[in-house]
């Protein structure tokens, strides 16, 4: 297969543009997560989707101190490990 130099360069430029787009998307996705002490923090929406519960149930978990939370700039966050612990406790209590 024989292609011209200009055509090859055009292909390479398109490939590099796509790499740039992918890089921007990855940076955007990474910046979405907040970490503290190397541990990922989840916001209300993340926890609601992960546990498939209502916002009222999440509020009840906070009130009953079943799920520790942190307030940063007026927004609530939960450590991923605390959410996993809640899941483990829920499973063990149902057995």
User: What are the structural domain ranges in the chain?
Assistant: 1-32, 34-94
CB 76 within 8 A of CB 43: yes
Cβ contacts of 70 within 8 Å, gap of 6 or more: 36, 41, 76, 77, 78, 79
Residue 69 DSSP SS3:
coil
Report, as an integer, the average pLDDT of 26-37: 72
Instruction: Give residue 10's pLDDT.
Output: 93
22 or 1, greater pLDDT: 22
**Which CATH class, in words, describes the domain spanning 34-94?**
mainly alpha
Report, as an integer, the average pLDDT of 42-69: 95
Phi, psi of 90 (to 5 degrees): -65, -40
């Amino acid at each position: 297969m024989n292609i011209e130099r200009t055509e090859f360069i055009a292909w390479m430029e398109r490939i590099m543009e796509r790499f740039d787009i992918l890089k921007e998307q990855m940076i955007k996705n990474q910046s979405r997560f907040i970490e503290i002490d190397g541990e990922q923090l989840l916001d209300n929406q993340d926890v609601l989707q992960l546990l498939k519960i209502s916002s009222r149930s999440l509020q009840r978990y906070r009130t009953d101190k079943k799920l520790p939370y942190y307030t940063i700039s007026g927004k609530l966050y939960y450590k991923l490990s605390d959410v996993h612990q809640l899941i483990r406790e829920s499973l063990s209590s149902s057995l």
